[in-house]
Amino acid sequence: MSAHAAYRTLRLLLAVVLIAAVPHKLLDPAGFALAIARYDLLPTAMVNTVALILPWVEVLLAALLVSDVLMGPTLWLTNLLFAGFTAAIGIAMARGLDIDCGCFSAGTTGSMILALVRDLVFLLLGLILALLYTRAIAPSRAPAEVIEEPAAWSAPGNEPSASEQNAS
Amino acid sequence: MRPSTRTLGQAVLIVGVAALLAFFFNRWRPAPLAWVRSEAFVPAAMTSTAQEKMPSSEPEALPGEKSAATFPSDPTAPPAPSDAPTVSPAPSPAEAPPEGTTPAAPPAEEIPAAETLPPLPPESTSSQIPPSPGQEGPYEDPAPSLRLLADGKTELPLIGVAEALQLHLSGNAIFLDARDPDTYAQGHIPGALCVPPTDLDRLWPQLAPLLEGKTIVTYCDGEACPLSRELAEALHVRGLMTPIVVFGNGWSLWQSEHLPVTTGANP
C-alpha cells in the first residue's frame, strides 16, 4: 500500500470514527455533560461548555480530514482529542470508577478497559496518520504550506517516485 | 514535530469555529443547555440506584434549623423549638451528599416563613400529621417545613432535583407540568399531568380527586420560569391541605440528570 493510499484510508477511517461519536452528543448535550461530569476531571462550571463545544470540534475535524485541508492543525487536534479521551478513561480507571465512557452512543455500558484500548488504537492510528502526513504527504505538496517540516526526514521528491513505483 | 505558530493559530481557529457552531446550535435547540453549570451533578449511583441513601429531610432541615437559630433570644417564639424536634433531628448536613443539590433559594425564602412561624397555631401542625400513617419505604414525611403552607402568607418551598426525584420515587407525590400542552407532549416527567396555570379552572374538576393526599410538585422550564410558581399559588389559594412544592427549573434539571422522561399528551 503506497503512502498516499494509506494516508487516504486512515483519514477516512478517523473521520468515520469522529462522526460516529457525534450524534448522541449533539442530540443529548445534557446527557453528554453528565457523562463528562462523572469523570470528575473538569470543574463543574466547565462541564457544560465542553459538552457543547466538543461535538462540533469533532464534526469540523471529521470534515477537514475528509476534505484533506488544513491537515497540520487537524491532525494535531485529532491526536490531542484522542490523547485526552485516553487519558480521561485511564485516570477514571485508575481511580476505580466504572462509568459510561460517553464515547459513542449513550448508555453503551461496555467495560472501561475496552474503551481504553479502543481509544489507544484510535490514538495510534492518528499518530501514524500524522507521521505519514509530515514525512510523506506534506513534502510532496506545495512547499509554501509546510516550510519547516519536510527538512526533518528526507529530501522532497522521494515519495512521489516511491508511489509511482508502487502504482506501476 | 513541534507545531508552528501558524499551525497553532489554525487549530485555535478550528476550535473557535466549533464554539461558534455550538453556540448557534445550542440557541436553536428548543431546550438549550446552560453554558456554565452552577449546580453540581447528582452522582451516578444516586440517579440509578440507592436513592434511599438520600437524606430526605436535608433541604428542609437546613432552613428549619436556620429559622430556629434566627430567633434564639425571642421568648415569644415557643413554636420554633417545638417545631425543631419534628425536623428529623439527625445531623443531616453531615450525611448529605457533598454535591449539595439543595438549591440556593430555600434559606433566603424561608426567612420570611420563619417570621410567620411564632404566631402559627398548634392545630396547623396537627392538621398536617394525618397524611402519612402507613407509608412504605424509605420515604419519610415529605417536608416538615411544608406545614407552613397551612398559613396563607408563607412562600411555597422550592425543591431541588434530588428531592424531586425522591418524591417521584415515593409514589406519594403528583407532578404537575405548568408548561403549555405542546411542550408537555414533547417530553415531561413520567406521570406528570399537564396543567398550565391558565387551564387550572377548566381542569380542576378532573384534577381535584387526583391530588387527594399527595404532595403536589409543580415544575416548568428555566431558572426564571414563573409558571410553576403561579400554578402552585393558584392551587394554594384553593385551600388544599396537601403540601405544595415548586421544583425550580424542574424540566431542565430533570433532563440534565438524565432521568427518565416520557412524551405524549395529557392522559
**In chain B, what residues touch A45 (CB-CB under 8 Å)?**
36-38
Residue A70 CB partners (closer than 8 Å, separation 6+):
A64, B10, B14
Q: Which residue has the higher pLDDT, B27 or B57?
A: B27
B171 located within any domain: yes
- Which cell numbers in the block locate residue B242? 396537601
pLDDT one-digit tens code per residue, B142-167 = 443 343 444 444 567 888 888 888 88
Q: In which band, very low, low, confident or very high, does the pLDDT at A83 lie, cut at 50, 70 and 90?
A: very high
B29: helix, strand or coil = coil
What's the DSSP call for residue B188?
A: B
What span, in angstroms and rounded, lies between the C-alpha atoms of A97 and A118? 18
CATH assignment at residue B64? 3.40.250.10
Cα separation, B125 vs B69, in Å, equals: 20
Who among B10, B21, B29 is closest to A73 (CB)?
B10
Contacts of A73 in chain B (CB under 8 A): 3, 7-8, 10-11, 13-14
Boundaries of every domain in chain A: 3-161
Beta bridge partners of B175: B217
The H or E element spanning position B32 is none
pLDDT in tens, A18-43: 999 898 888 888 888 888 888 888 88
Q: Given this model, what pLDDT does residue A60 score?
A: 95
**B123-147 tens-digit pLDDT:** 433 333 333 333 333 444 444 334 3
Residues A150, A143 contacting (CB under 8 angstroms): yes
Grid coordinates in use for B199? 387551564
Distance separating alpha carbons of residues A47 and A34, to the nearest angstrom: 8
**Structural domain containing residue B206:** 60-85+98-127+138-256
Q: Does the beta-carbon distance from B1 to A70 stay under 8 Å? A: no
Say what the pLDDT of residue B182 is: 82
**What per-residue confidence (pLDDT) applies to A126?**
94
* ipTM value > 0.90: no
Kindly report the number of other CB atoms within 10 A of residue A107's CB atom.
12
Please work out, in degrees rounded to the nearest 5, the angle formed at the alpha carbon of residue B65 by the alpha carbons of B60 and B67: 95
Is the Cβ pair A44, B18 closer than 8 Å? no
Q: From the list B8, B33, B43, which residue is nearest A52 (CB)?
A: B33
In this complex, the residue of A34, A53, A134 whose CB is nearest that of residue B256 is A34
Q: Is the pLDDT of residue A128 over 90?
A: yes
Residue B228 belongs to a domain: yes
pLDDT band at B253 (very low <50, low <70, confident <90, very high): confident
Q: State whether the Cα torsion A18-A20-A26-A31 is positive or negative.
A: negative
Closest Cβ opposite residue A72 in set B7, B15, B21: B7
Q: Which helix (H) or strand (E) holds B112?
A: helix B105-115
Predicted local confidence at residue B267, as pLDDT: 65
Per-residue pLDDT band at B16 (split at 50, 70, 90): very high
Contact B163, B56 (CB under 8 A): yes
Q: Which helix (H) or strand (E) holds A40?
A: none
C-alpha cell at B173: 407525590
pLDDT in tens, B203-250: 888 888 888 778 889 998 877 788 888 888 888 777 777 788 888 888
Tell the burial category of A13 from Cβ atoms under 10 Å away from its Cβ (0-12, 13-18, 19+): middle
Task: Identify the residue with better confidence: B188 or B56.
Answer: B188
Distance from CA of A40 to the nearest CA of B (A): 10
Percent of chain B whose pLDDT exceeds 70: 54
> With contact defined as beta carbons under 8 Å apart, do B218 and B178 qualify?
yes
Structure confidence at residue B238 (pLDDT): 76
- Give the count of domains, chain B: 1
Per-residue model confidence as pLDDT tens digits over A139-160: 787 655 544 544 444 444 444 4
CB A126 within 8 A of CB B1: no
Q: Which chain B residues contact residue A72 at CB under 8 A?
A: 3-4, 6-7, 10
Within a domain: residue B262?
A: no
Is B217 among the domain residues? Answer: yes
Query: What does the pLDDT average to over A118-124?
Result: 93
